[in-house]
Amino acid sequence: MRQRAGPIHLSGNDLEKDALPQHNDVSDTESKSRRDDHGRKFTYALLGVLATLATMHLLSSGPFFPLPRPQPKSAPDFIKAGLARCDEVRSMPPDTSSFAKDRTISDRFEVGTKPVLLSNGTLWTGADNGEQVIYGGSVLLKNGIVWKIGKHADVLAEMTTEGLLGDDEVETIELDGKWVSPGIVDMHR
């Protein structure tokens, strides 16, 4: 860099770039160092704020400074009744395997009603986890209860034992392979 002594008098063509004095108060390395210091200070301040917030959160939600929480309200009676009903529905039904074992007459049996033979149907019995199907089977209804279910020949043998072979003693309905299933009732047909 050139230095001139005395005042500088410049005319139009005398202006040169290097003729003007350079006013660099701070060198480039000093400027970068100051920027780095400001960046570090900002980073440390930000980390301090985040650490303070995290500590406050942990202390307020932990056992040190528990926040007051409202006590749970008791459920209304209709909710309690609904939950009790759900418990009933989820419980296993009682064992009814011996319910009809010794029955010989239904409570709803109408005296004078003839036995009914449903003959030659496809029977879905519900046994064997609902997979048992008897093709060409028959059902004997007597005294208001299901008396015998099985192959047609087996049901006829039971009827012989009971002395029910005459047409005047048994009402016979020929099913021609139609399905018979326990407890499935279609109210629309």
Report the alpha-carbon distance of residue 153 to residue 136 in Å, rounded.
10
Please report the pLDDT score of residue 4 as a whole number. 53
Please report the pLDDT score of residue 66 as a whole number. 62
Please report the pLDDT score of residue 90 as a whole number. 84
Percent of the chain with pLDDT over 70: 67
Please report the pLDDT score of residue 61 as a whole number. 65
Burial of 180 (0-12, 13-18, 19+ CB in 10 A): middle
Please report the pLDDT score of residue 72 as a whole number. 75
**What global pTM score does this model have?**
0.45
Tens digit of each residue's pLDDT (9 = 90 or more) over 9-51: 555 555 555 555 555 555 566 666 676 777 888 899 999 999 9
**Which helix or strand (DSSP H or E) is residue 39 part of?**
helix 28-61
Backbone torsions φ then ψ of 65, nearest 5 degrees: -130, 75
Please report the pLDDT score of residue 8 as a whole number. 57
Q: Give every residue of the chain whose pLDDT is below 50, as ranges.
A: 1
Cα Rg, the chain, nearest whole Å: 50
Please report the pLDDT score of residue 151 as a whole number. 92
Please report the pLDDT score of residue 93 as a whole number. 72
Average pLDDT of every residue of the chain: 78
